[in-house]
Structure 1
Amino acid sequence: MTPLPDRFCPADGTRVPGGSLDWCCPVCRGPLDLDFAPTPAPLTSLTGRVNSLWRYTECLPLAAPTVSLGEGRTPLVELRGGISAKLDFLMPTLSFKDRGAVLLAELALRLGPRQVIADSSGNAGTAIAAYCARAALPCTVYVPEGTSPKKLEQIEAHGARVHVVEGDREATARAAREAADLPGTFYASHVFNPYFLHGTKTYVHELWEDLGGRLPDVIVVPVGNGTLLLGAALAVAELHGAGLIDRRPALYAVQAAAVAPLAHAWAEGADDLVGVTPSAPTFAEGIAIPRPPRAPQILRAVRDSAGTFLTVTEDQIRHAQRDLASRGLYVESTGVACWAAVREGVLGGRTAVVPLCGAGVKSGPARG
């Protein structure tokens, strides 16, 4: 088996051995990146490969998967005016989080922990629970009070233990991180563990393949903790570095106006979060993250791509969900945020792809 690559702290350079269960930088307690620089295969060599995200094996830090559920290779369909949608709600657990969860489960299998824990507002926890079930790994998922009952039902159905935390998403993350320090624990964090980002980046590799070796002018992504956006930035860098695309698309990051710390920092021209921005309840619970740990990386990735931040109101989210449903696509309220942001013509005629990240059956329609 190929040795696991080391991880490192992007803030201070501290290195963590690949086989360690340490989940954060031991110096600053920040998230880690992976010392891994792959070269993607050319388009012509993909013919006949397995029809899942594992077809991009040269770009993945793990090979020979044993827990795959066929994740990836979701449809790309046109919406209107040069905007297409990537139907990532058609994943095994009905959300894009499967892309990263399968990498975390594969890594946990190799490390052999006594237990796996995760924290989530729903979709990531469901995905981790499903892939841990596939891998026969004991799993506990920390969730905030008020998490959708349908998501809790799905997590428990996979055999995971649900630990409900009094308080919001941040309180839930704090509780999980305390538990993550216990010996023999693998913290399947979709925020701190870089393997998750190397799973989500396959979203862009699929776009590149489905569009015949090119990418749209703009890739629009919802941003809470930024895992899809940072994965997209990784894939764009890989494809551009290998000479497989001649230009980099702009990354447009979308937040709910009710919880928009990154959009606020962007408007201030800052490189990190600025103060404490007020938050309010939002239909887009999956991206309602007041203090994302990878904030500097997210802001830098958007800036380096010549992209921008957009925010959407609750009315825009509600109307966008109904609009997509009228087109045959029933998507959860967090998953419609990108369509809400761009459907009124802000792209100026440029081509774009929006992700539809989670199925509407997970949480029902946005009401209010």
Structure 2
Amino acid sequence: MTPATDSPALPDARPALPDYVCPADGTRVAPSSLAWSCPACHGPLDLDFSPTPAPLGKLSGRVNSLWRYAECLPLPAPAISLGEGRTPLVGLAGNISAKLDFLMPTLSFKDRGAVVLAALARHLGPDRVIADSSGNAGTAVAAYCARAGLPCTVYVPAGTSPKKLAQIDAHGARLEVVDGDREATARAARAAADEPGTFYASHVHNPYFLHGTKTYVHELWEDLGGTLPDALVVPVGNGTLLLGAALAVRELHAAGLIARLPALYAVQSAAVAPLADAWRAGADDLVGETPQAPTFAEGIAIPRPLRARQILRAVRDLGGGFFTVTEDQIAAAQRDLAARGLYVESTGVACWAAVRDGALGDRTAVVPLCGAGAKTGPAGGDVGRSRERRGPVAPSTG
């Protein structure tokens, strides 16, 4: 595959990439493989990779992107970087702060994982890259494939935001609109992924994506002077941000760089909440079929997340829990954030909807604002139709 002319090739002397390993049965897969799932059980893969983060004092002067945490990333910094990461951390109210991950090159946190997937694809040199997405992940993969000079096809469900479709198309990716829901879209993409020479840039199956999203927590740790808040609150559909956060917390704790583990809280839309239902049942995996209804939080409306067992275990291990939020709460939280100067898409406001009324008491917490409101528009109508009274903005924390 010929790389883009403005992106010099990666150096030949690269450290060996880690093996894939199946978390369910231990099957190992070579790092050079284009296999996208475990050949034995067909489940998603992890990486045999246990890095040691650099201490705080060694980060000064490094590149101002997520690649400053080089020791914790499974491949070298690529020439295709767009400066992703290092998003601002600002106060919202009381002890709650927000990390503005919608201020990324493609306007969502998915850039953290997409750049790592695109760098891996460029290293492996496939004939084509495919992805499936409800919008943001597909946009990010399309952008970074364009940067890397890789042909890309993105499968999206019918009903995906026209603004997200326009963004994917603008990056030169081929769009395949599937007449069905998010699961039907994933099935179509997986069928195409089995074609020879295809790299499946799956933000669910491929663990490189999780090692990109974990930089969210490494940045928090650095911004807070080598500490983490009492609680991390993240939206959960397929769990890519939550599982990345859990990876980073474990890395920092194992290295002795944090003394205590933050509690990890997951937020789902009450309309599609299979993980929250399993949590309330005390189960280790999904329990039966989850009722589904339309939701503004389309990005986390995943009825059967493939990494459900890992998500539930991570929340349990870190002493957290689950919140669900209604459509009214989502719409109100979006209006509230807009009144504070932050226009965030409806999926991205779910965590603020969960905690803004004091659900965490006096504990310190950070919520991610994951996607820009310009991608989808307001939830349930005009953002300004009924502005709510709110308290003063908390001082900036970064």
- Same fold per superposition (TM over 0.5): yes
Match among 281, 285, 304 for residue 268 of structure 1 = 281
Residue in structure 2 matched with residue 194 of structure 1 by the alignment: 207
Query: Take 1:134 and 1:92, find their aligned partners in 2: how far apart are those partners?
Result: 12
Question: Does the residue aligned with 2:246 lie in a helix, a strand or coil?
Answer: helix
Find the counterpart in structure 2 of residue 225 from structure 1. Answer: 238
1:13 to 26, 35, 38: 26
Alpha-carbon separation, structure 2, partners of 1:332 and 1:250: 25
Query: Matched residues in 2 for 1:328 and 1:233: separation?
Result: 30
Provide the secondary structure at the position in 2 that maps to 1:142: strand
Structure 2 residue aligned with 1:112: 125
1:181 aligned partner: 194
Structure 1 distance, partners of 2:167, 2:185, is 19
User: Is 1:308 paired with 2:321?
Assistant: yes
SS at match of 1:90: coil
Offset at 1:11? 0.4
TM-score, normalising length: structure 2 = 0.92
Aligned match of 1:366 in 370, 376, 379? 379
CA-CA distance at 1:103 after TM superposition = 0.2
1:40-67 deviations in Å (ceiling 9; x for gaps): 0000000000000000000000113111
Structure 2 match to 1:166: 179
Q: Which has the larger radius of gyration?
A: 2
Please give the alpha-carbon distance, in whole angstroms, between the structure 2 residues aligned to 1:25 and 1:216.
Answer: 36
CA distance in 1, matches of 2:261, 2:148: 37
Q: Deviations over 1:131-165 (max 9, x none)?
A: 00000000000000000000000000000000000
**CA displacement at 1:249 relative to structure 2:** 0.2
The equivalent of 2:115 in structure 1 is 102
Q: Tell me the SS of whatever aligns to 1:255.
A: strand
Match status 1:22 vs 2:35:
yes
AA aligned to 1:278 is P
- 1:351 equivalent in alignment to 2:337: no
Letter aligned with residue 336 of structure 1: V
Pairing partner for 2:140 from 106, 113, 127: 127
Q: 1 CA distance for matches of 2:75 and 2:328?
A: 42
Q: Are 1:87 and 2:100 counterparts?
A: yes
Secondary structure in 1 matching 2:175 = strand
- SS of match in other structure, 1:354: strand
Q: C-alpha offsets along residues 16-35 of structure 1, whole Å, 9 cap, x if unaligned?
A: 00010000001111000000
| 143, 146, 150: which one aligns with 1:137 | 150
* Structure 2 spans left out of the alignment, 5+ residues: 1-13, 382-398
Q: Distance in 1 between matches of 2:80 and 2:308?
A: 31
- Where 2:102 maps in the other structure, the secondary structure is helix
Q: Distance in 2 between matches of 1:206 and 1:26?
A: 35
Instruction: From 214, 220, 228, give the equivalent of 2:227.
Output: 214
Question: How much does 1:4 deviate?
Answer: 1.4
Q: Distance in 2 between matches of 1:89 and 1:181?
A: 33
2:304 maps to 291
What is the aligned partner in structure 1 of residue 258 from structure 2? 245
CA distance in 1, matches of 2:68, 2:331: 36
* TM-score, with structure 1 as normaliser: 1.00
Partner of 1:338: 351
Which consecutive segments of 4 or more residues in structure 1 shift more than 4 A? none
Q: SS of 1:132's equivalent?
A: helix
Letter in 1 for 2:149: A
